[in-house]
């Protein structure tokens, strides 16, 4: 429990001044980079203070001149902080609408071009979210998605949602498969305990959607890439 409290306390101590300084600055100037960099510092520092370290591979695979869609497995609440802190450049992400409506935090999320999603299965809402994400990519901002749609309770890969692959096929931007392992034992789903440890993050070679005829073919290629970077027990 102590490391969870350290993690949350660090988030608060570093997050409050970040919000107070840079949310108004972004509102006045339209420049979101100070807010984004402050957020990255907050997330990275919180992980370090809680004794969490990441072994990162394949960072050189990420194009520096193009927006990409990062497609990752999801096994822990540590995964989003890890990816936001590690991905070069600025990334947006899909987020539950309820979080986007929180006071202060919601303003920061909207300034950062995060995309609100409804989990009601409505095709209209899904199309609206995809179109918003295409607009973010057109600005040169990455998108980060957890393609299973939720955290895996036992660490094994779940079936993938089709929305991220529809976005990839319609936008044509490269997909970067990401394999995350180890965070499931550091901070597991349903737990309020963080155990210090090392996790592994692998950024795989970009996959170009234009090389595939269907979403299912693209999904299969991304799934195979993600699985290749996971321990065997997590692959199925």
| CATH number of the CATH domain containing 108 | 3.40.1130.10
16, part of any domain: no
DSSP characters for 20-52? HHHHHHHHHH---HHHHHHHHHHHHHHHHHTTE
Q: Both tokens of residue 128? A: 């609206």
213, part of any domain: yes
215, part of any domain: yes
Helix (H) or strand (E) holding 55, with range, is strand 52-57
131, part of any domain: yes
46, part of any domain: no
- Domain ranges, residue 140: 52-234
With beta carbons less than 8 A apart as the criterion, state whether 206 and 61 touch.
yes
Q: Is the pTM of this model over 0.85?
A: yes
43, part of any domain: no
pLDDT tens-place values along the chain, 236 residues long: 899 999 999 999 999 999 999 999 999 999 999 999 999 999 999 999 999 999 999 999 999 889 999 999 999 999 999 999 999 999 999 988 888 888 888 999 999 999 988 776 677 777 888 899 999 999 999 999 999 989 998 899 999 999 899 999 999 999 999 999 999 999 988 788 999 999 999 999 999 999 999 999 999 999 999 999 999 999 97
142, part of any domain: yes
Compute how many other C-beta atoms are within 10 angstroms of the C-beta atom of residue 228.
12
Distance from first CA to last CA of the chain, Å, rounded? 31
Q: What is the pLDDT of residues 15-72, one digit of tens each?
A: 999 999 999 999 999 999 999 999 999 999 999 999 999 999 999 999 988 999 999 9
205, part of any domain: yes
With beta carbons less than 8 A apart as the criterion, state whether 141 and 190 touch.
no
With beta carbons less than 8 A apart as the criterion, state whether 81 and 134 touch.
no
Quote the number of domains for the chain: 1
With beta carbons less than 8 A apart as the criterion, state whether 145 and 93 touch.
yes
């Amino acid at each position: 429990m102590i490391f969870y409290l350290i993690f949350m306390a660090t988030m608060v101590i570093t997050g409050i001044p970040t919000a107070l300084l840079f949310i108004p600055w972004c509102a006045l100037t339209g420049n979101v980079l100070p807010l984004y960099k402050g957020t990255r510092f907050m997330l990275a520092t919180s992980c370090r203070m809680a004794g969490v370290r990441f072994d990162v591979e394949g960072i050189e695979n990420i194009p520096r001149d193009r927006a990409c869609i990062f497609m990752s497995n999801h096994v822990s609440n540590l995964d989003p902080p890890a990816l936001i802190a590690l991905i070069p450049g600025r990334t947006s992400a899909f987020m539950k609408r309820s979080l986007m409506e929180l006071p202060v935090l919601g303003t920061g999320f909207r300034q950062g071009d995060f995309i609100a999603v409804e989990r009601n299965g409505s095709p209209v809402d899904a199309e609206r979210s995809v179109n918003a994400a295409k607009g973010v990519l057109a600005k040169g901002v990455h998108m980060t998605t957890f393609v299973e749609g939720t955290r895996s309770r036992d660490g094994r890969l779940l079936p993938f949602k089709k929305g991220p692959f529809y976005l990839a096929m319609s936008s044509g931007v490269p997909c970067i498969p990401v394999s995350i392992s180890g965070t499931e034992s550091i901070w597991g789903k349903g737990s309020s305990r963080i155990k210090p440890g090392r996790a592994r993050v692998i950024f795989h070679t970009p996959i170009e959607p234009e090389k595939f005829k269907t979403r299912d073919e693209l999904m299969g290629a991304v799934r195979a890439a993600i699985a290749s970077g996971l321990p065997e027990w997590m692959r199925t």
